Amino acid sequence: MKSYVLDTSALLTFQLNESGSDVVEEILLLAKRKKAHVYTSFITWTEVYYITSQRLGQNRALETLVQMKCLPIKRIESDEEQTLTAGDLKSHFSISLGDAFVAALAIQKKAVLIHKDPEFEPIKSNLIQQALPYKNLH
């Protein structure tokens, strides 16, 4: 059975119905039918909360977390192995600490990392990843 890790950017893409949300929806449907495992990092929940709170207010951020609890996603807390892997990634690549934990989870679960974050590009040889369409900043 295939496994996926959804990065914060993938969940926000789904929540805001941005380009690539259909890919995330398809993965969630697979998980609902018990044909895939879908994980998120503990840190992703924090990032979704604070980003949604900044953009749309605290009430919407809390609603979003309640909605996420209804999705067929397993939230994974960090353990020692994941912490060390995240630390190794952070020490060798120019990525945020949050992204290091998300990548470490994908490595640990041997999962495809679904994201919309160019920060993961330098570590593509370390894990399997599928990039959603990046936002056009122009």
The fraction of the chain above a pLDDT of 90, given in percent, is 89
Give the separation between CA 52 and CA 58, rounded to whole angstroms.
Answer: 7
Q: How many domains does the chain have?
A: 1
Question: Could you tell me if residue 70 is inside a domain?
Answer: yes
Question: Could you tell me if residue 117 is inside a domain?
Answer: yes
Domain hosting residue 50, numbered range: 2-131
Query: Do residues 120 and 12 lie in contact, with contact meaning Cβ atoms separated by under 8 Å?
Result: no
Looking at residue 124, its pLDDT comes to 84
**Helices and strands: H and E segment counts in the chain:** 6, 5
Question: Could you tell me if residue 138 is inside a domain?
Answer: no
Looking at residue 136, its pLDDT comes to 60
What is the CATH number for 48?
A: 3.40.50.1010
Question: Could you tell me if residue 137 is inside a domain?
Answer: no
Better-scored residue on pLDDT, 48 or 124: 48
pLDDT in tens, 31-85: 999 999 999 999 999 999 999 999 999 999 999 999 999 999 999 999 999 999 9
Question: Could you tell me if residue 115 is inside a domain?
Answer: yes
Closest CA to 43 of 88, 125, 94, 106: 106
